Amino acid sequence: MRGIFVTGTDTDVGKTRVCAALLAGAPADWRYWKPVQTGLADDPGDTAMVRQLANVSAVQAPDVGVRLDAAVSPHFAAQAAGQRIELATLRQQAAHMLGAGVFAVVEGAGGLLTPLNDRETMLDLARALALPVLIVVRVKLGAINHALLTERVLRDSGVPTVGFLLSGDADPSLESALRVHARVPVVGRLPECQPDTPPVPHGERLRTALREILS
**Residues carrying an active site annotation:** 34
How many whole angstroms from its chain centre is CA 162? 12
CA angle 134, 140, 141 (to 5 degrees): 120
Spatial separation of the C-alpha atoms in residues 50 and 45, rounded to whole Å:
9
Helix/strand/coil percent split, the chain, to 5:
40, 20, 40
Distance in angstroms (rounded) separating the CA atoms of residues 125 and 91: 8
